[in-house]
Structure 1
Amino acid sequence: MIHNDELPQAASAASTRRELPFTEGSVWSIQFAQTKPGMTAEYLRNLGAGWTPLMDEAKREGLILDYRVLVAPHANRDDWDVMLMVEVRNMAALDGYQEKMNDLAGRFVAGSAKQDCAQFRELLGMKLVREITLKK
């Protein structure tokens, strides 16, 4: 049985055990694409014409915090060579996110920029990751 004078110590010990060694940060949605042979430059041009302006507008409207495009040589024939990263404030920011982005794309992206990216690349997968700051 815990006596009243022991409660603060018991509560303190329990909170210490549960304290995480990091602080939660923003969330990144990451897509991994493998461009079709000879289509990397065309895919990147397509992203620059449509996706990048859309992400810039999403950033201005506060839907996203930031975005990145990374390229790398294939480690093997099944590997990605283009990584698309989109940063949002937290997991809650993903509630209704796709609908908001579809609405923005419908208002913002010109018809010619709505070119199907599937002709240039294959999506290999996606990850949702949280950035953390380790406590010292």
Structure 2
Amino acid sequence: MKRRIAWLAAGLLLLSLAAPAVAQDRAWSEGPVTNVSSIRVVDGQFENYMDYLSKNWKPVMEEAKKAGYVLSYAVFSAAPKTPQEPDLYLVVTYPNMATLDGMFEKMQPIQQKVTKLTYREADEASGKRVVMRQLLGEELLREIELK
């Protein structure tokens, strides 16, 4: 009986040592996570929306970078083929998926510090952006880093 338990324990030990080795044999690893927001700017509102992004969104993103919540952010213009497609993309890259946990609680103090708005005022201002742009959707992408 003791011999059987010893063999079982040895087998489990070998399995536990082999698991990390298998993970190291992968040709890839999980990388940063990127959120892409697809935006359709309302006709005649491009300059207003760019002003908003420059004066509000960018400073918040800069503070989030300093805090380590954001690796990078960018705004991309696009040439849509139809009126239903986005003409602007807001792209924010986070260090990993875990960073997104509790993101509201992390970002609220930063947003309040930068914009000087309470949560309720920021929510109201967000609703007013509808006259400038329409959020068509968001996509969350995880980079796969090849070894």
Q: Name the TM tier (shorter chain).
A: 0.7 to 0.9
1:62-110 CA-to-partner distances (Å, cap 9, x unmatched) read 1211111111121211100111111111100111112211221112214
Q: Kindly name which structure, 1 or 2, has the bigger radius of gyration based on alpha carbons.
A: 2
In structure 1, the gaps of 5 or more residues are: none
How many residue pairs are counted as aligned between the two chains?
A: 130
1:33-68 CA-to-partner distances (Å, cap 9, x unmatched) read 100112112211110010001101111121211111
In structure 2, the gaps of 5 or more residues are: 1-9
| Distance in 1 separating the partners of 2:78 and 2:47 | 13
> Which SS does the other structure have where 2:83 is aligned?
coil
Pick from 19, 31, 35 the counterpart of residue 29 of structure 1: 35
1:51 aligns with 2:46: no
User: Letter of the aligned partner of 1:123 in structure 2?
Assistant: L
What's the CA shift for 1:16?
A: 5.7
96-105 or 83-92: bigger deviation: 96-105
1:102 and 1:77, CA in 2 relative to 1: closer, same or farther beyond 3 A? same
1:86 aligns with 2:92: yes
| Distance in 2 separating the partners of 1:99 and 1:122 | 25
| Distance in 1 separating the partners of 2:83 and 2:53 | 23
| Distance in 1 separating the partners of 2:82 and 2:27 | 36
Pick from 121, 125, 129 the counterpart of residue 133 of structure 2: 121
Corresponding residue of 1:64 = 70
TM-score by length of 1: 0.79
Q: Which one has a larger percent helix, Structure 1 or Structure 2?
A: 2
TM-score by length of 2: 0.74
How well do the aligned residues superpose, as a CA RMSD in angstroms?
Answer: 2.9
